[in-house]
Structure 1
Amino acid sequence: MSARAAAAILGALTVALATPLVLASQASAATVPTTPHPPAAALPVGSSHAGAALRPVIAPTRRSYYVDCAATTDGNGTLSRPWNSLIDANAHTYHAGEALRLMRGTTCTGTLSPKGSGSAAAPFTISDYGTSSARAVVDGDGAPNAVYLYNEQFIQLTNLEITDQAAPGTNRRGVEVVAQDIGAARNYLLSHLYVHDIRGDTTKGSDGSAGIDFEVHGTTTPTWFDGVVIQDDTVDDVDRSGITEWSTWGNDAAVNDPTDMPEPRHPTRGLVIQGNTLHRIGGDGIVVIDADNSLVQYNTLAGFHLEPTGYDAGIWPWDADGTVFQYNDVSGGAGTNDGMAFDVDQGTAGTVYQYNYSHDNDGGFMLFCNADGSTSDAVVRYNISQDDSYRGFENCSGAVSGMRVYNNTLYIGPGVTQTVVNENNTTPREVSFSNNIVVKSGSGSASFNLRSGGYTFHHNDFVNLGGLPSDPGGTTADPAFCDPGDAGGIRGATGYRLCAGSPVAGIGAAVRGNGGRDYFGVAVSPTAAPNIGASAAAPSAGAPNLLPDGGLEAGNLNGWSTRGATAAQDPAAHSGAYDLSLNAPSGGAATAEYTVTGLQPNTAYRYTGWVRTTGAPTWLGVKNHGGAQVSASTTATGWTRLSAPFTTGAGDTSATVFCYLPSAGRSSCDDLSVTAGG
């Protein structure tokens, strides 16, 4: 491992356990300006990202200036006589501890571009005032930027609504912060902003449109940002990038970009992007560029690459060492150029992706990308991917080295097709792939396309996949997830815990330096054999099954109402020796029904089971429970898990569950269950 990579990994592990409380006034090249917060293990998945504990401390304001763009007359900037346009607000020079406040419920048009900086002890604050329930709005009205800060620092920008949708198609930013030829530009907080409808061009790169953008310009004085927190903002409907930053002083030899300034390198330091929500982004979601030891966590990105004019991914770094991406929920990537949730890209070393949830992305889960530079020493661990299409792990044309992929869970549900690892060329690679679960369920297919020989596999669980590679210590057994396929979000992924009888418990390979915890916050030993997959907890019994003999192991259908159905001995049963066999003749149907009693009124339950067909649609469903019939179906020839949630009525204490084959053919149902909890 190179010294650069080692330093990046050390920085990544350090920043992963720190979150800012106070914006720092000074930061050396070797430190991130943060103060400790509770370690990741203390923050359960789905919790607030530590809530108020992460709010930066705001110093008392010495003097405030006021803008009310609805006022009929222009004043002097006082509360009783506010300015009535951004022209006055931009003409004034502000000092440490002062504040510029915009009236809630009013809209100011043009660019907000105030002059002046704060200090470490007394930042310059740009915020709102008033009692209206509506936000204070800055509408760029077709200008290149709605909010523009140039060579100011120690800034806190909060609680504003920002838009710029007139004259669409030109270069456009919601918030642009620029530092040029000033050395270290320190301490920025952007929080609780609502940035939306930034109707810009779709140019990819430093000149592209964006919701929030930090840029370092200049060629005479080395310049970099030192302490940037972008937190709890909402970014909606942006034509290019959601949140990004870059620098002319990135100059990393691993990038091989001739347009960068020469060494020494001056990357952004102390960048934290956390707790933000992004919807409907035209290109990339969140991109960390020319920054070292950054922390990107607890963000939700839903919908990106929606205006595909190039290659876009969800959340990723470029020319950035030691970036930690954790607790992010990414979905809705459109198209396959690139369209995946995450990407370890060129010019990076020591990137860590952990505890993230990726789902329903057209382009897949993860990209390892290098063209003509260097990409090395990344870790991808304890993430969950549900129903990501096209590819699980994609590879660009260049070489990558020192990539470690372990203890992830990929679930590829009915109707989804994926190449689990895709290599379109034979470029040498170095990727270790271990302790991962990859399950294909239902219609569609999943397989491997391996060409370089650089992927090595061991101790994985590959279920219903084609083209399997050599996988010493691995298995193809069903992992016995408690409730796969229905996560719905990072908070709901508990269905990927292991339930009783899981064959992958305790059969993985121990990993030193494994981060110390799994996706769910359970401690992971560095020496004991772990579970395979993203859950390290001992298999649980789960909720009790209220359906007697759901595995049909008694070899009979006592208590069932049947037509063309038997409990059949089957060497290919989903588990055990027996399953429920449906045999429908030409022009007929086959069914088996069971009435479950002893249920509670007004209570959520779930009916689940595994179904295999010869191609005829087969249904699992629930009726007579006090509500509308619910059901799910499959035509898959391999065992496919179906699920039907239902809620009993106000006076109902029973429900009838069924397996139903409505047309000629044969099907099998097995491991049926009714459990409380929906």
Structure 2
Amino acid sequence: MNIKKNQIYFIATCCLISLFMLTKVAHAESNPIGNCYYVSSQRGSDTNSGLSISEPFKSLNKINELKLNPGDKVLLENGSVFEDQYLQIKNSGNIEACIEISNYGDRGNLPIINTNGKGVWYQDYGKPLPNPWHKYKGNVSSSILLKDVEYIKIKNIEITNDREKSQPDHLAYNDLKVMDRTGVASVAKNKGTLENIVLENLYIHDIDGNIYNKHMANGGIYFISELPDNEEKTGIPKYDNIIIKGNRIKNVSRTGLAVAYSAYFDLFQNSAEIDQELIEKYGNTNVLIENNYIEDAGGDGIVTMYCSSPIIQRNVSNGAGRQMNTTDYPIVTQRVAAAMWPWKCKNALFQYNEAYSTKNADQGNGDGQAWDADSADGTIYQYNYSSGNSGGTVMFCLEKAVNSTFRFNISQNDKKGILNLPNNPDAHIYNNIFYIDEGVPFVRKDMNTGSALIENNIIYNAGKQPINEEWNPNNRIIYSNNLYCNYSNLPNSDNTALLLNSQESNIFVSPGNGPVKPNFNYLTYDRFNQNTVFDGYKLEQSSPAIHSGKKIIDKNGYNLGTDFFGIKLDGILDIGAVKSSK
């Protein structure tokens, strides 16, 4: 891996966690060390024992009444519909055996929990949040609630929490007082560090929560840490070894997936650079978010918060920011959303992700980007693909976005302005491909006061005529050794620039023909076999980008590693995100 040693360690740790959980599940199946409880809405009865397929419980209420022990399983029958029901797990597994919640039965529809506003609990961070618009306490309805529990694995369940099927609250859908809702919520409070929680292959949709509340447990999957009753006695509430993978989340309000807002936010407010000891003491560690598909999130797609070296990889966001417009969201403040980004994280790694059609930058969404390094230290975006995002490709957000790296990514026809630089102190942007639609500026006009070093990129204007670009509106950007296609001017700082006219250029095999919508199977597109949907961005045999790259020394200490297609980089670099075959 072309990342720092500490990130290699965390990737290895996450892989071991997954292997551990799978090993424990296999052990439980072959040598049961706990009970297996069966629940069927179709053929069950709450007077049954629940301990066999022939005597299943009927309702989830029976599970909520149980004291689950390490090694116990709760299995919901495929095809079952649990209307107006929910699960509130109050007990933990342990290092020897997790508690598992999953499905059983003949192949068919997954068991579905339709919560419809039930399962209400009270969230309270214990103190007001820095922004007075951000709600910090109140009722939340969650289909599955994990409160102060650990060593839990939940998989193969469908979940909804639909407001239209709930008891009428006589409020407009976008009223400030609408109750927050979640598919799966996890709360750390009075048990210190919660370890080993796995959420896998869940289909979470139609979670009609509050449009505005971004730090309540409000959306598809949301983890939080509240102030404990007695920190000296129970320890600091946070998470370690969290795996969220293979889930499909669609049509939720407000956030698709978030791990994990913390009541200790005030410890991270002063310095831009995040102290490693501080984030490991109060933040979340060993967080892996991979292979998830998020569609039509009302606000943000995936957000990691207060994490040390989280790994966010091979996820897809499609249509994030759905409700960030002046009709759905009439209140101006905090009407912002992007596809995938960190908040107050140290060394967050985003790689192999795809972001499509993040919405509404032209209708009131103040962001709308695919990617956003936001008040984070050491964020790296690499090997990602973005297309058609209304607010641009990437933002480095304000003064506390520091030590950011953006490399070996491909952007195709993102809108409004490719780079968003709102007063950030630094960003190292190198060896990317920016294929830019007609009329779209390279630097977004309302976010152009920040600093960046931009080198070895291919910047390709796909318009009909060469344009005169405003490359450096505030004289804080340095360009070096980039290839510019179809421009009538160059940045003053780029003394080794290559300039080509699009009509006579032979840079790529077939530019502009990358995917514009996600893969039909909800996974990222393959890029490692011989023929891929990204092949149009491979270099022509006679491309002037070949062997024209400069030597790159990453400003944040990362090794180069591979190109966009996973080809190892050695020898003379090419310009752009793709290594030639020469």
Q: TM-score range by the shorter chain?
A: 0.7 to 0.9
Structure 2 residue aligned with 1:382: 408
Structure 1 residues 238-317: aligned runs within 5 Å: 238-245=252-259, 246-254=261-269, 265-308=281-324, 309=329, 310-317=335-342
Of Structure 1 and Structure 2, the greater strand share is in 1
Distance 1:78 1:426 in 2: 63
How far apart are residue 103 of structure 1 and its match?
1.4
Tell whether the 8 Å contact from 1:60 to 1:97 is kept in structure 2 after alignment. no
Structure 2 residue 51 is matched with structure 1 residue 78: yes
Structure 2 residue 565 is matched with structure 1 residue 520: yes
Distance 2:394 2:448 in 1: 19
Partner deviation per Cα, 1:127-162 (whole Å, 9 max, x = no partner): 111114111111111231111111110000010001
Distance 2:226 2:110 in 1: 32
Structure 1 residues 531-550: aligned runs within 5 Å: 531-538=574-581
How far apart are residue 253 of structure 1 and its match?
3.1
Distance 1:426 1:501 in 2: 35
Aligned residues: percent identity?
A: 27
**Aligned partner of residue 181 in structure 1, secondary structure:** coil
Structure 1 residues 495-574: aligned runs within 5 Å: 495-512=536-553, 513-525=558-570, 528-538=571-581
Distance 1:342 1:140, change over 3 A: same
Partner deviation per Cα, 1:18-39 (whole Å, 9 max, x = no partner): 3733428xxxxxxxxx99xxxx
How far apart are residue 473 of structure 1 and its match?
1.2
Partner deviation per Cα, 1:523-567 (whole Å, 9 max, x = no partner): 212xx431100011236xxxxxxxxxxxxxxxxxxxxxxxxxxxx
RMSD of Structure 2 on Structure 1 (CA): 2.5
How far apart are residue 177 of structure 1 and its match?
0.9
Tell whether the 8 Å contact from 2:246 to 2:292 is kept in structure 1 after alignment. yes
How far apart are residue 69 of structure 1 and its match?
2.3
TM-score by length of 2: 0.79
- Residues 226-235 or 331-340, more deviating: 331-340
**Aligned partner of residue 18 in structure 1, secondary structure:** helix
How far apart are residue 213 of structure 1 and its match?
0.8
Letter in 2 for 1:409: I
Q: How many residues align?
A: 490
Structure 2 residue 79 is matched with structure 1 residue 58: no
Tell whether the 8 Å contact from 1:250 to 1:266 is kept in structure 2 after alignment. no
Of Structure 1 and Structure 2, the greater helix share is in 2
Structure 1 residues 262-661: aligned runs within 5 Å: 265-308=281-324, 309=329, 310-336=335-361, 337-346=366-375, 348-370=376-398, 374-396=400-422, 398-401=423-426, 403-413=427-437, 416-422=438-444, 424=446, 427=449, 429-443=450-464, 447-448=469-470, 450-465=472-487, 468-470=490-492, 471-477=494-500, 478=505, 480-488=507-515, 490-491=525-526, 492-512=533-553, 513-525=558-570, 528-538=571-581
**Aligned partner of residue 88 in structure 1, secondary structure:** helix
Structure 2 residue aligned with 1:573: none
Structure 2 gap segments, 5+ residues each: 119-140, 167-172, 330-334, 519-524, 527-532
Tell whether the 8 Å contact from 1:285 to 1:304 is kept in structure 2 after alignment. yes
- Residues 264-273 or 294-303, more deviating: 264-273
Distance 2:480 2:184 in 1: 47
Structure 2 residue 243 is matched with structure 1 residue 229: yes
Tell whether the 8 Å contact from 1:254 to 1:375 is kept in structure 2 after alignment. no
Distance 1:250 1:14, change over 3 A: farther
**Aligned partner of residue 418 in structure 2, secondary structure:** strand
Distance 1:472 1:446 in 2: 18
Distance 1:307 1:192 in 2: 26
Letter in 1 for 2:199: L
Structure 1 gap segments, 5+ residues each: 1-7, 25-33, 36-53, 540-678
Structure 2 residue aligned with 1:124: 99
Letter in 2 for 1:322: N
Letter in 1 for 2:82: C
- Residues 113-122 or 512-521, more deviating: 512-521
Letter in 2 for 1:388: D
Distance 2:569 2:468 in 1: 29
**Aligned partner of residue 376 in structure 1, secondary structure:** coil
Tell whether the 8 Å contact from 1:21 to 1:55 is kept in structure 2 after alignment. no
**Aligned partner of residue 442 in structure 2, secondary structure:** strand
Tell whether the 8 Å contact from 1:127 to 1:157 is kept in structure 2 after alignment. yes
Greater Rg by CA: 1
Distance 2:377 2:82 in 1: 44
Letter in 1 for 2:319: G
How far apart are residue 326 of structure 1 and its match?
0.5
Letter in 2 for 1:232: G
How far apart are residue 462 of structure 1 and its match?
1.3
